[in-house]
Structure 1
């Protein structure tokens, strides 16, 4: 028995197969992680596009009655209700292919609108290394400009 154990310690048959299986598993895990990271980046950029559009639509959501003229400059005054409606309308139309898009907040100060939009992201391949999905949140601000 001891002779068999000594011989097995000296011989290296099968070691290459074990290393190949280990490296293949590592390479597969790396490919899945890179694929998920790329998918997350693309989904975040798409969500930023929706948020930018919603902020721009919200910043332009004013009526002519809301434009104040101080003698030299005309400045629009944004209302929170109009900003909320415009941002929600834009996000519902533009975010059709994103999962669970919602406007988390839309606020207006005197001349700019800030919109927060969120969406659910799910990795393309679910594994033990990655979560089943996370919620992405982005915020965008746009300034209202009135050119007379």
Structure 2
């Protein structure tokens, strides 16, 4: 019967250390991806709001008892692009995929960016494209 067990806990300690390090890296990367998506959505929401407010006073008309206006595709796209040009952000490869108004009263903006993992190497670069869509509507009361 062998009673010398020196070194058996060292292997177990190394295994749990590597497992803990891998868990920390995965949680860090998942959190970073979530925050990057939230930043992109916030930017898309602001662009959609700016685009929904891009109507001109000449376009307002009386429709029964309510005021109405129509957003055109060109003004929505220009307002969204202008908002993105003026905004400060740290998003990689930001792209305005679509900006338009399907019903003439609301604006829809779709943005795409690329997320880079916070800890990556040249051997294993980790990037994920993310895309969000935000809608906004301008309403008269």
Q: Which residue in 1 is equivalent to 2:76?
A: 83
Q: Which has the higher helix share?
A: 1
> Is the counterpart of residue 114 in structure 1 residue 108 in structure 2?
yes
Query: Which of 131, 135, 139 lines up with 1:137 in the alignment?
Result: 131
Q: Secondary structure at the match of 1:81?
A: helix
Alpha-carbon distance in 1 for matches of 2:59, 2:78? 16
Number of residue equivalences: 139
> Is the counterpart of residue 24 in structure 1 residue 17 in structure 2?
yes
Aligned CA RMSD, in angstroms, stands at 2.0
**TM-score when scaled to structure 2?**
0.89
Residue deviations 1:102-121 (CA, integer Å, cap 9, x gap)? 11001202210111011111
Q: Which residue in 2 is equivalent to 1:12?
A: 5
Alpha-carbon distance in 1 for matches of 2:94, 2:116? 13
Unaligned 5+ residue runs, structure 1? 1-5
Contact persistence 1:50–1:95 (CA under 8 A): no
Q: Which residue in 2 is equivalent to 1:3?
A: none
Unaligned 5+ residue runs, structure 2? none
Larger Rg: 1
Alpha-carbon distance in 1 for matches of 2:75, 2:88? 20
Which portions of structure 1, spanning 4 or more consecutive aligned residues, are displaced by more than 3 angstroms? Answer: none
